[in-house]
Amino acid sequence: MQNAWLIPLLPLLSFILLLLFGKKLKEASAYAGIGATLLSLMLAAAVMLGQWGGESYKAEGVWLSIGKHAVTMGYEINPLNALMLVIVTLVSFLVHVYSKSYMRGDDRFHVFFAYLGLFTFAMLGLVLSPNLLQVYMFWELVGLGSFLLIGYYYFKPEAKAAAKKAFIMTRIGDVGLFIGIILLYWQAGSFEYDEIFKAIADGTISSDMITLIAILIFVGAVGKSGQLPLHTWLPDAMEGPTPVSALIHAATMVAAGVYLVAAMYPLFEASSAAMTTVAVVGGITAIFAASIGLMQKDIKRVLAYSTVSQLGYMMLALGSGGYTAGVFHLMTHAFFKALLFLAAGSVIHAVHTQNIEEMGGLWRKLKITAPLFLIGALSISGFPLFSGFFSKDEILMATYGDGRYGLFVLAVLAAFFTAFYMFRLFFMVFAGSPSQEHGKVGESDGPMILPMAVLGVLAVLAGYLNTPWFGTFLADYLSHGPVRFAAEGEHGPIWIPILATAVSLAGILLAYLMYGKKKLSRNWLSRSLPSLSTIVYRKYYVDEAYDATVVRGTTGFSCLWSYVDRYLVEGAVNGTVSLIQWLGKRGSYMYDGQVQRIGAVAVAGLVIILLFFAAAGGYFS
Amino acid sequence: MNSIPLSVYLVLALILFCIGLFGALTKRNAVIVLISIELMLNAVNINLVAFAKYGAKPGLTGQIFSLFTITVAAAEAAVGLAILMALYRNRKTVNVDEMDIMKR
Amino acid sequence: MSHLISILVFSPLAGILALSLLSSKNERALKLAGLLGALLPMLIAVIAAASFERSASGIQLAEQVNWISYKMLKTGDAAYFSIRYEVGANGLSIVLMLLTAVISVLAAVGSWTVKRDWKSYFIFFLILELGMLGVFAAQNLFLFFIFFEITLIPMFFLIGRWGYADREKAAYSFLIYNGIGSAILLIVFVALFMRAGTLNYGELAKILSTNGYPGLGSTFRMSVLIALLVAFGIKLPIVPLHTWMLRVHVQAPPSIVMIHSGILLKIGAYGLFTFGIGFFPAEFKQLAVWIAVLGVINLLFGAFLAIVQTDLKKVLAYSSVSHMGIVLIGFAAMNEAGLKGAIFQLISHGLISALLFFLIGVLYERTGSSDLKDYSGLAGAMPVTAGVLLAGGLASLGLPGMSGFISEFLAFLGLFKVMPVIAAVGTLGIVLTAVYVLRAVLSVTFGPTRESYPVGRDMTAREKIPAFVLLGLVLVIGIYPGMLSEPLHTVLDTILLGLRG
Between C70 and C448, the higher pLDDT residue = C448
Mean pLDDT on A233-254: 84
- Which stretches within C274-311 are classed as H helix? 278-279, 281-307
A518's torsion region: left (phi>0), alpha (psi -120 to 50) or beta? Answer: left
Q: What are the distances in angstroms from CA C258 to CA C101, C263, C373?
A: 12, 8, 23
Q: Residues of chain A with pLDDT > 90: what percent?
A: 2
Please check whether residue C100 is in contact with residue C132, taking contact to mean a CB–CB distance below 8 angstroms.
yes
> Mind listing the pLDDT tens digit for each residue in C160-178?
888 888 888 889 888 888 9
Range in A375-379, A426-430, C75-79 with the lowest mean pLDDT: C75-79
Least CB–CB distance from A594: residue in B21, B100, B104:
B100
Assess whether pLDDT exceeds 50 at residue A530.
yes
> Mind listing the pLDDT tens digit for each residue in C62-80?
888 888 777 665 555 556 6
- Asked if A554 and C304 come within 8 Å (Cβ–Cβ), the reply is yes
Mean pLDDT on A121-135: 88
Q: Could you tell me which of C192, C276, C289 has the C-alpha nearest to residue C235?
A: C276
Between C441 and C58, the higher pLDDT residue = C441
Assess whether pLDDT exceeds 60 at residue C353.
yes
d(C-alpha C182, C-alpha C200), whole Å:
19
Q: Residues of chain A with pLDDT > 70: what percent?
A: 91
> Mind listing the pLDDT tens digit for each residue in B9-28?
999 999 999 999 999 988 88
DSSP letters spanning C321-345: HHHHHHHHHHHHH-SHHHHHHHHHH
d(C-alpha A363, C-alpha A430), whole Å:
5
Mean pLDDT on A54-59: 74
With cut-offs at 50, 70 and 90, classify the pLDDT of residue C445.
Answer: confident
Strand C80-89 and strand A57-66: the pairing is unpaired
Assess whether pLDDT exceeds 50 at residue A477.
yes
Which chain A residues contact residue B21 at CB under 8 A? 603
pTM (2 d.p.): 0.85
The single-letter DSSP state of residue A549 is I
Least CB–CB distance from B96: residue in A592, A596, A600:
A596
Assess whether pLDDT exceeds 70 at residue A235.
yes
| pLDDT for res A579 | 92
Strand partners, C71: C80
Cα C72 to the center of its chain, rounded Å: 38
Assess whether pLDDT exceeds 80 at residue A69.
no
Q: Chain A residue with minimal CA distance to B101?
A: A593
| pLDDT for res A424 | 84
Mean pLDDT on C429-442: 89
For testing contact with chain C, the best of A126, A131, A156, A175 (most C CBs within 10 A): A175
A147's torsion region: left (phi>0), alpha (psi -120 to 50) or beta? Answer: alpha
Assess whether pLDDT exceeds 50 at residue C459.
yes
For testing contact with chain A, the best of B14, B18, B25, B96 (most A CBs within 10 A): B25
Q: Which residues contact B99 (CB under 8 A, 6 or more apart)?
A: A593, A595, B30, B87, B91, B93
| pLDDT for res C452 | 67
With cut-offs at 50, 70 and 90, classify the pLDDT of residue B44.
Answer: very high
- H helix count then E strand count, chain C: 23, 2
| pLDDT for res C187 | 92
Mean pLDDT on A565-584: 86
Assess whether pLDDT exceeds 60 at residue A251.
yes
With cut-offs at 50, 70 and 90, classify the pLDDT of residue C44.
Answer: very high
For testing contact with chain C, the best of A64, A140, A149, A150 (most C CBs within 10 A): A64
Dihedral sign for Cα atoms in the order A315, A316, A317, A323:
positive
d(C-alpha A76, C-alpha A90), whole Å:
19
How many C-beta atoms lie closer than 10 Å to residue A139's C-beta?
Answer: 30
| pLDDT for res B68 | 92
- Asked if A168 and C485 come within 8 Å (Cβ–Cβ), the reply is no
Q: Could you tell me which of C402, C408, C89, C38 has the C-alpha nearest to residue C270?
A: C89
Which chain C residues contact residue A558 at CB under 8 A? 304-305, 307-308
- Asked if A64 and C394 come within 8 Å (Cβ–Cβ), the reply is no
The dihedrals phi and psi of A362, each to the nearest 5 degrees, come to -90, -5
| pLDDT for res C278 | 85
> Mind listing the pLDDT tens digit for each residue in B63-104?
999 999 999 999 999 999 999 899 889 888 888 877 776 665
d(C-alpha A157, C-alpha A151), whole Å:
9
DSSP letters spanning A90-156: HHHHHHHHHHHHHTTT-TTHHHHHHHHHHHHHHHHHHHH-SBHHHHHHHHHHHHHHHHHHHTTSTT-
Mean pLDDT of all residues in chain A?
82
> Does B92 reach chain A within 8 Å, measured CB to CB?
no
Least CB–CB distance from B25: residue in A591, A592, A599:
A599
Q: Break chain A down into helix, strand, coil percent, rounded to 5.
A: 75, 5, 20
- Asked if A594 and B21 come within 8 Å (Cβ–Cβ), the reply is no
Assess whether pLDDT exceeds 50 at residue A538.
yes
Mean pLDDT on C214-223: 82
Between A521 and B95, the higher pLDDT residue = B95
> Mind listing the pLDDT tens digit for each residue in A290-329?
888 887 888 888 888 888 888 888 888 888 888 888 888 8
Residue type, A183: L
With cut-offs at 50, 70 and 90, classify the pLDDT of residue C126.
Answer: very high
Mean pLDDT on A445-472: 77
Mean pLDDT of all residues in chain C?
86
- Asked if A183 and C416 come within 8 Å (Cβ–Cβ), the reply is yes
CB-side neighbour CA atoms (13 Å) of B61: 7
> Mind listing the pLDDT tens digit for each residue in A581-613?
899 888 877 777 777 888 888 899 999 988 888
| pLDDT for res A621 | 46
